[in-house]
């Protein structure tokens, strides 16, 4: 995964597994959320501050590809990066690893909205790409 990126470590609790003893499929999206929280902090705009300023970033799209299953007590590393920002949307790419084995990969797309109105707004300046310069 290309820098800049964030990582978190996660030890799988029994509660994350299904009857077959593997991590329940929807929990990978929870792992993506944990990573995204760290990424926002690493980018200098933690979610609490974002919300305090009147913004929210709901998920509007999620994509996930499973490669192998994680199990109870596995030590996972979740990696992610901000892939792109376009006006009022951004995409975060994520990967879930156990050692050197890729278990899952995917992305989430988020809309930036005004909490008071629920309407889309441009990204906060800390996240928005700089304007293109004229040659």
SS (H, E, C) 9-23: EEECCHHHECCCCEE
pLDDT band, residue 124 (cuts 50/70/90):
confident
Query: What pLDDT shows up at residue 115?
Result: 95
Where does 6-114 sit in CATH, by number? 3.10.129.10
The least confident of 72-76, 79-83, 127-131 is 127-131
Query: What pLDDT shows up at residue 3?
Result: 55
Query: What pLDDT shows up at residue 132?
Result: 45
Of 21, 23, 1, 20, the residue nearest 10 (C-alpha): 23
Q: Which whole number is the average pLDDT over 103-113?
A: 97
* Domain positions in the chain: 6-114
């Amino acid at each position: 995964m290309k820098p800049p990126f964030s990582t978190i470590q996660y030890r799988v609790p029994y509660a994350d597994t299904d009857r077959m003893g593997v991590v329940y499929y929807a929990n990978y999206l929870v792992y993506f959320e944990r990573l995204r929280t760290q990424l926002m902090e690493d980018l200098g705009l933690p979610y609490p501050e974002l919300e305090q300023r009147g913004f929210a970033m709901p998920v509007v799209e999620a994509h996930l590809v499973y490669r192998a299953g994680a199990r109870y007590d596995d030590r996972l590393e979740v990696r992610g990066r901000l892939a792109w920002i376009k006006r009022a949307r951004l995409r975060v790419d994520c990967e879930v690893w156990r050692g050197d084995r890729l278990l899952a990969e995917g992305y989430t797309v988020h809309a930036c909205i005004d909490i008071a109105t629920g309407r889309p707004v441009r990204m906060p300046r800390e996240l928005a790409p700089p304007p293109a310069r004229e040659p």
